[in-house]
């Protein structure tokens, strides 16, 4: 029988149940052994009593049989049934008789139902078997009936001899009801003791299990806090003993302290990384914006000095326009990254198909083949803005490295609880010296690039606790592989 239902119960209850079961089992086993031994002892005592009764008749019966003195035999049976020597006062004689070797009644305690000289009648098969066993007895023995309680009996059989001549047999039958009552009292006493031990064991088991499980419960609460990420809110477990549980509690407390320290270090590192990133972005923005601003200011200063010079106007207006658009693109990229990170709109995987027309418009008739293989269905829920921005930036980056034509491939799938996004191109590849700077803000090898596209991709992937990998060899193209856990995508 499977006990799978116990799995949902608490450990303290299981401990208490186990202790109670063991105590009850041991108590019941010991009690059963005691009851069986008591029954055997009571039964043996009763056998000795009934043999003593039968022998009290057998002592004088042979001489009376030889004299054919049936009255003396009857008086012996009657006296035997009424005597109360020692411990025999509670022994009730059911019947007694003296039979000839052929089974004829020589004397009977109930003469009206069993006339003298007639063969003793056996009302059923058990009585017939007992009669035959008594007639064939050559030594004293005790026979037991099959009845239970008030119907049970023991019968002593004593063969009678005179000068080695078999004269007959004495049969004395007593009730085993006394034994039954004594065994019943013993059983009730054992049951009472067993129940008492079960109650005591239950209380003891509850106390022991509570003491044992208390530190485990505290550790479970601490582990749940760890699972929720609350590493600094783990309460220490009190160490009460020096046993295995005490060692476990001490180890847990040490682990809690180390986790709290680790969490604080991670938070400090995160703040430091944000400050470093902010400094880099600030420096990059200052550098990227300051360069065109210096040129723009020079152009404006020259135009102020020569407001009527059309030739200078025609030369400097395009420079002003390009410089302002350059600043606009940088600010726009930063605003897009911030806006996308703050959105949490959910959608299924088919939202990526909306990008296909945008990418085809970017190709705009160039000799570039787009291979589109989106396997994310409506069973996968994703953050629409973030995942679209990741794929779009990677595809635009791939298109920009294929000025003379080639193939760009996009693949997506749901693999073992993770969303896989892959963008390949067969372009010139990434030089080895540029690999370590791919995701740095404002790093670019394109004349008109801002250097923010891959940085935005990296930030978005990191915000969703994903991983981005790059494989590239000069002359053999580039592959970007993004892995996003669905647990952080809402799937």
Annotated domain spans of the chain = 4-183, 345-488
Residues forming a β-bridge with 418: 415, 485
> Do β-strands 418-425 and 478-485 pair in parallel, antiparallel, or remain unpaired?
antiparallel
Enter the tokens of residue 86: 């020692």
pLDDT for 332: 64
pLDDT for 231: 54
> Do β-strands 478-485 and 165-175 pair in parallel, antiparallel, or remain unpaired?
unpaired
pLDDT for 326: 66
pLDDT for 435: 72
Enter the tokens of residue 20: 């109670």
- Report residue 474: phi and psi, to 5°: -55, 125
- Report residue 323: phi and psi, to 5°: -65, -45
Give the whole-angstrom CA distance, residue 96 versus residue 142.
14
Give the whole-angstrom CA distance, residue 472 versus residue 488.
28
End-to-end CA distance of the chain: 39
C-alpha triplet 198, 203, 209: angle, nearest 5°: 115
DSSP label of 433: G
Rounded-to-10 torsion of CA 119, 120, 126, 128:
-10
Enter the tokens of residue 141: 């023995």
pLDDT for 106: 92
Among 142, 157, 178, residue whose Cα is nearest residue 39: 178
Give the whole-angstrom CA distance, residue 423 versus residue 445.
19
Listed in sequence order, the DSSP H helices in 365-450 are: 384-400
Average pLDDT per consecutive 10 residues, the chain (491 residues; last block may be shorter): 51 70 81 84 86 90 90 90 54 87 90 88 87 88 83 90 90 86 83 81 72 62 60 60 64 70 73 62 60 71 78 76 70 57 69 82 82 81 82 86 85 84 88 74 61 77 86 86 71 43
pLDDT for 98: 92
Is residue 476 helix, strand or coil?
coil
Enter the tokens of residue 419: 């969303």
Enter the tokens of residue 223: 């582990």
Q: What is the largest CA-CA distance in the chain?
A: 175
DSSP label of 386: H
DSSP label of 104: B
DSSP label of 176: S
Give the whole-angstrom CA distance, residue 11 versus residue 209.
8
Enter the tokens of residue 120: 């003793």
DSSP label of 480: E
DSSP H or E stretch at residue 425:
strand 418-425
pLDDT (tens digit, 9 = 90+) per residue, 85-110? 444 445 688 899 999 999 899 999 88
Helix axis angle for 70-82 and 11-58, nearest 10°, is 150
Beta-strand runs (E) in 255-307: none
* CATH no. of 4-183: 3.30.450.20
Enter the tokens of residue 36: 């069986």
DSSP H or E stretch at residue 301:
helix 244-305
Is residue 465 helix, strand or coil?
coil
Enter the tokens of residue 69: 């003195």
Residues forming a β-bridge with 41: none
> Do β-strands 406-415 and 368-374 pair in parallel, antiparallel, or remain unpaired?
parallel
If phi over 0 gives left and psi between -120 and 50 gives alpha, with beta otherwise, what is residue 478?
beta
Give the whole-angstrom CA distance, residue 79 versus residue 57.
9
pLDDT for 90: 54
Beta-strand runs (E) in 81-164: 93-99, 105-108, 141-144, 153-162
pLDDT for 88: 42
Helix, strand and coil content of the chain, in percent to the nearest 5, comes to 60, 15, 25
Asked whether the beta carbons of 188 and 154 are under 8 A apart, the reply is no
If phi over 0 gives left and psi between -120 and 50 gives alpha, with beta otherwise, what is residue 477?
left
Give the whole-angstrom CA distance, residue 260 versus residue 267.
11
Enter the tokens of residue 463: 């915000």
The CATH class, in words, for 345-488 is alpha beta
pLDDT for 176: 84
Asked whether the beta carbons of 419 and 461 are under 8 A apart, the reply is no
Residues forming a β-bridge with 341: none
């Amino acid at each position: 029988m499977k006990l799978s239902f116990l799995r949902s119960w608490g450990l303290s209850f299981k401990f208490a149940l186990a202790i109670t079961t063991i105590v009850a089992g041991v108590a019941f086993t010991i009690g059963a052994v005691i009851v069986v031994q008591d029954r055997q002892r009571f039964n043996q005592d009763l056998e000795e009593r009934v043999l003593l009764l039968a022998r009290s008749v057998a002592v004088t019966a042979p001489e009376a049989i030889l004299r054919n003195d049936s009255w003396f035999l009857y008086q012996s049976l009657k006296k035997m049934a009424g005597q109360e020597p020692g411990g025999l006062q509670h022994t009730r004689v059911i019947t007694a008789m003296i039979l000839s070797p052929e089974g004829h009644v020589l004397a009977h305690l109930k003469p009206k139902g069993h006339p003298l000289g007639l063969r003793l009648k056996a009302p059923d098969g058990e009585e017939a078997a007992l009669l035959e066993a008594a007639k064939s007895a050559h030594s004293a023995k005790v026979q037991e009936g099959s009845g239970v309680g008030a119907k049970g009996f023991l019968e002593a059989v004593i063969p009678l001899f005179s000068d080695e001549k078999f004269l007959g047999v004495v049969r004395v039958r007593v009730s085993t009801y006394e034994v039954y009552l004594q065994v019943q009292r013993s059983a009730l006493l054992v049951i009472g003791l067993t129940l008492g031990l079960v109650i005591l064991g239950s209380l003891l088991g509850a106390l022991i299990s509570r003491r044992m499980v208390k530190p485990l419960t505290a550790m479970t609460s601490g582990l749940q806090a760890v699972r929720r990420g609350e590493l600094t809110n783990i309460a220490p477990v009190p160490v009460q003993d020096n046993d295995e549980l005490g060692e476990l509690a001490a180890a847990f407390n040490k682990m809690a302290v180390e986790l709290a320290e680790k969490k604080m270090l991670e938070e400090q590192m995160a703040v430091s990384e944000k400050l470093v990133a902010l400094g880099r972005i600030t420096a990059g923005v200052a550098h990227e914006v300051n360069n065109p601003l210096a040129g723009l200011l020079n152009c404006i200063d020259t135009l102020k000095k020569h407001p009527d010079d059309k030739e200078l106007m025609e030369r400097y207006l395009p420079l002003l326009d390009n410089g302002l658009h350059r600043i606009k693109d940088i600010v726009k990229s930063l605003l897009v990254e911030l806006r996308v990170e703050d959105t949490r709109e959910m959608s299924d995987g088919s939202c990526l198909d909306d990008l296909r027309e945008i990418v085809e418009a970017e190709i705009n008739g160039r000799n570039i083949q787009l291979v589109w293989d989106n396997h994310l269905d409506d069973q996968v829920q994703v953050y629409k803005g973030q995942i679209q921005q990741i794929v779009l930036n990677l595809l635009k980056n791939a298109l920009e490295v294929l000025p003379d034509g080639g193939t760009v491939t996009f693949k997506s799938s749901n693999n073992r609880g993770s969303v896989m996004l892959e963008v390949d191109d067969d372009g010139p590849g990434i030089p080895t010296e540029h690999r370590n700077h791919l995701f740095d803000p404002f790093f670019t090898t394109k004349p008109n690039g801002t250097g923010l596209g891959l940085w935005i991709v990296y930030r978005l992937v990191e915000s969703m606790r994903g991983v981005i990998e790059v494989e590239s060899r000069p002359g053999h193209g580039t592959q970007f592989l993004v892995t996003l856990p669905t647990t952080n995508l809402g799937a």
